[in-house]
Amino acid sequence: MTISTPYWIDTHDQDLTFPDVSLALTEPDGLLAIGGDLSPKRLLTAYSNGIFPWYNAEEPILWWSPNPRSVLFPHQLKISRSLRKTRAKTTCTITIDAAFNEVINACGATRKDQPGTWITPDMYSAYCKMHELGYAHSVECWFENQLVGGLYGIAIGQVFFGESMFSRKTDSSKLAFAHLVDKLKEWDFKLIDCQVKTAHLTSLGAENLPREQFINLLHQWCSTLPHPTAWSTSTLEIGQ
């Protein structure tokens, strides 16, 4: 059973609870709640329960929990033959948490196929704050000392919640993502949340899970700490 209208969160309400994700609307798929704020506590509560914010500048905050959920189990990453060739031939450097603000700015830049950006000033500030607190992380791809690709997301326990990626050079975001997955496996991460299915992520091994199964995995792995070395400084030279 679904509700006909999404749940409204009072901006001044300090109660951080969300309605059960089973009450999310089926049309538009996964819309669960409207309003509230982007405080670190609310964001952590949302992500650990399979909910994320996504909205345009002229809209109130919209909270989503789509069904099914696109995920990638780190050990199931697919590296295509063309990407292997790119890794072998391309001279670039991959870093972690070296330029978080630059990455989120690049992800929020208006693109040719989009009239605007969902990374509003409030979203930018909120995720930069999450980065300062150690929850939001970025992966950067550099070519000739220029940032050419990358991604960012939220890490809770043994789960990484991917938010956005960008490329200014062919396969640069894929190179960053592949390096991230290698590190997540090393750090005992169990799951990467890709939110919704895309051809780009499917090509890398992402699959759809029923929302209920996804939530059960979150409850198991968000409360389990990763390896102590997680998010330590990491730099990889490719094609050297």
Domains and CATH numbers, the chain: 7-66 (3.30.70.3550), 70-238 (3.40.630.70)
DSSP state of 29: B
* Distance, CA of 232 to CA of 228 (rounded, Å): 9
Residue 19 identity (one-letter amino acid):
P
Q: Is 155:137 a contact under the CB 8 Å cutoff?
A: yes
Provide the 10 A C-beta neighbour count for residue 103: 26
Q: Write down the residue that tokens 């969160």 correspond to.
A: 9
Q: Is 29:67 a contact under the CB 8 Å cutoff?
A: yes
* Distance, CA of 204 to CA of 68 (rounded, Å): 18
CA distances from 225 to 2, 97, 194 (A): 34, 19, 20
Q: For residue 75, with 0-12 CB atoms within 10 Å meaning exposed, 13-18 middle and 19 or more buried, which class applies? A: exposed
Helices (H), the chain: 40-48, 81-89, 100-108, 121-132, 172-186, 199-202, 211-221
Each residue's pLDDT, cut to its tens digit, for the chain (240 residues) gives 344 688 999 877 777 889 999 999 998 899 999 999 999 999 999 999 999 999 998 899 999 999 999 999 999 999 888 888 777 777 899 999 999 999 999 999 855 555 446 899 999 999 999 999 999 999 999 999 999 999 999 999 999 999 999 999 989 999 999 999 999 999 999 999 999 998 888 989 999 999 999 999 999 999 999 999 999 877 777 765
